[in-house]
């Protein structure tokens, strides 16, 4: 089997979020898949399988060093970047089956900062949002993050979002508060088990020259990941949160930045589809307010290395 190391949500190697991609995994049993993922614990692993039916083009399964995960955004970008480089898929839309169902994964050429890039984008149905977390529990989370309660956002509540996995979205006051987070991971692990959250996604939102911008950090000790450099799935959850709170002010696109504190900066392009224009994204008035019906998460990926898995002796 061919294996690739890929950096996702970035245009440059050694940044963004690393993922391992294993091609032609058909025939591998569960123990082998888990063992391969444990061999590369620094990154989540996407295994590529042939399609199992006429309603999709390929199947992906995702493992980290601890367990299988229904869906992983950055590993999806990584896998499709590899397939594009090998000519095993084309620009346009490919139908992917994974643990959350079938979704469209598009690929197109874009120009950014004067350079041409291939941008890969997946479309997800809207994540579910729980009721706001009670203040007493939010303060316990802040304590586990070693963040004074006064440095949480003064009015936005913490909420758990669900889409394949669960993340507690924690709004903080500003960039300085975000940078100061230094978690007590044992406390986070216990709180995650108690609250039913696989990870903690702290964020701050600002208004950039070209529209809304978010900066975020994510901590997932339950998945064996102290801090995740860049998460696509969590940004889909964040989109649902921001839309529900009316914070996008009619905008249906924002840029999410993550990974700077780890020296692996990444960029996530987030597009929201509403009922008013979901079937016609190029309509004259695409910012018409309406119910959120889908979120599209996009970004680039670059192959760092490739090789072949040796046969078991």
- Which are the catalytic amino acids? 44
Phi-psi sector, 87: left (phi>0), alpha (psi -120 to 50), beta? left
Residue with tokens 């964040």: 238
| Rounded Cα distance, 282 and 290, in Å | 16
What are the beta bridge partners of residue 49? 59
* Phi–psi pair at 54, nearest 5 degrees: -80, -10
Tokens of 14: 């050694």
Of 84, 89, 14, nearest to 51 by C-alpha is 89
């Amino acid at each position: 089997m061919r294996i690739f190391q890929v950096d996702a949500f970035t245009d440059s190697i050694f940044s963004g979020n690393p993922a391992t991609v294993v091609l032609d995994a058909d025939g591998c049993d569960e123990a082998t898949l888990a063992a391969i993922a444990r061999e590369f614990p620094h990154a989540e692993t996407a295994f590529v399988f042939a399609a199992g039916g006429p309603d999709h083009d390929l199947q992906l399964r995702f493992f980290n060093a601890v367990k299988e995960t229904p869906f992983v955004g950055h590993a999806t970008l990584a896998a499709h970047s590899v397939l594009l480089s090998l000519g095993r898929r084309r620009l346009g839309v490919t139908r992917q089956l994974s643990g959350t169902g079938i979704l469209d994964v598009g690929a197109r050429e874009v120009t950014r900062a004067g350079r041409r890039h291939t941008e890969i984008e997946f479309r997800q149905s809207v994540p579910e949002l729980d009721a706001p977390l009670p203040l007493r529990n939010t303060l316990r989370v802040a304590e586990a993050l070693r963040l004074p309660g006064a440095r949480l956002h003064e009015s936005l509540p913490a909420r758990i979002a669900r889409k394949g996995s669960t993340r507690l979205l924690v709004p903080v006051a500003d960039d300085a508060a975000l940078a100061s987070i230094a978690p007590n991971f044992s406390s986070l692990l216990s709180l995650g088990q108690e609250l039913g959250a696989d990870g903690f996604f702290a964020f701050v939102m600002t208004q950039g020259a070209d529209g809304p911008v978010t900066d975020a950090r994510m901590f997932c000790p339950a998945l064996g990941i102290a801090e995740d450099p860049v998460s696509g799935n969590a940004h889909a959850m964040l989109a649902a949160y921001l839309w529900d709170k009316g914070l996008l002010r009619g905008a249906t696109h924002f840029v999410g930045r993550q990974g700077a504190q780890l020296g692996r900066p990444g960029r996530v392009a987030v597009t929201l589809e509403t009922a008013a224009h979901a079937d016609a994204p190029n309509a004259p008035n695409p910012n018409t307010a309406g119910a959120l019906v889908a979120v599209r998460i996009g970004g680039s990926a670059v192959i760092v290395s490739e090789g072949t898995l040796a046969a078991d002796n």
